[in-house]
Structure 1
Amino acid sequence: MKLSGELKAFSGRLGHTFLQPELLVRAVTHSSMVSPHRDDNQRLEFLGDRVLGLVMAEALLKADPNAPEGQLAPRYNALVRREACADVARQIDLGAVLKLGRSEMKSGGRRKEALLADAMEAVIAAIYEDGGFDPARRAILRLWGDRINNVAADARDAKTSLQEWAQARGEVPPQYVEINRTGPDHQPVFTIEVRLASGPSEQATAGSKRQAEQAAASALLEKVNP
């Protein structure tokens, strides 16, 4: 199989020359384009998510050897979350080469954040399947670039991130409700529930309201951004 001129140019933006070009074609093929002779990118997306996660975990450990897990986790989440993947996809104009069905084309699929993020993960997997882990790592580190060095500033606290998530979707700010309080006055334990207007909610328990709110917000972010 030979790549189209458009995909050859995209391969150049990735910095990877495919020995198996069919992998790249599959990576940019959305499920709306599935046919008996064409596979979509969902299985590659599943793999790419894991490859990206390993590369980012490794990069963060090397970048800050003394950082505790409590600092590394939000940085990691900031680098692998949907918004980051979609941002990289826009940077390399991935949307322009996506193979979409008519319905997705009409609904603006080339600009949809979730679709771009999923395709970005599929492209990572295609590089991994084509050349192995080292080429995939090199591509990821080059494409994510300064995001890795600046992630400490980008990894905002969970409450702020959840509020931004809700605002980006036109929702009212999340609501935090004290569900329970136990223990003596000098050592209370709070259970807080955070609720989104669209329905999802999560609870967390901690020794302060703030800690419980942050933990609940973090859990809810994981639920809405699996």
Structure 2
Amino acid sequence: MLYIVSTPIWNLEDITYRAVRILKEVDYIVCEDTRTSWVLLKAYDIKNNLLNFHAHSDDSKIKKILDLLKEWKNIALISDAWTPWISDPAYNLVRKAIEENIQVCPIPWASAVLSAIVWSWMHMHDFRFIWFLPVKKWRQTLLKELEKKDYTVVIYESVHRILKTLEDLEKTFWKDHKIVVARELTKKFEEFKRDTIEECRIYFWKQNLKWEFVIVF
């Protein structure tokens, strides 16, 4: 069995009893960075065999993990934060496991997307999660498509591109268009800024920017 285990965004308390139990009971834990994962595992006294799997892992590492699963070993897959497969290199591993008819079980919990939408007060019945906007290719095409949207959109953005993205959104929509920008979710200085695109851009231009952002519009 391959368990896809969601881990906290930042606050170590945001993990389920079930997730902790699974991490203690499996034969191996596959993690993106053993140094990062060790902080969480130590906090919950989880002592287990760790296997490293990251963006630069080759097919031989995938084969090794699949071979263990075929030997009826139970493996938990975790990322540095949030849910594996959504925003990390786990996609190929999970896809291969499914193709090999290996049972996959998701263990859900923390979600930056849902946290931001809930606080935004925007419609949740129909929303689109884009992850990160393209840096160059297709960026303007996608923004033009979103200009005609009649649903809520959620995107992630890095600290290095947040101001550029807010500028592009301001050019695409009218400057008084309301958005929500969230940062440092679940951390001590968690912040949600609900305002016009123009005011959000001006506000964050004056800030000491850190960490990743979630934008809802």
Same fold, judged at TM 0.5 (above) = no
TM normalised by structure 1 equals 0.23
Structure richer in helix, relative to its length: 1
Structure richer in strand, relative to its length: 2
Structure of higher RCO (CA pairs closer than 8 Å, 6+ residues apart): 2
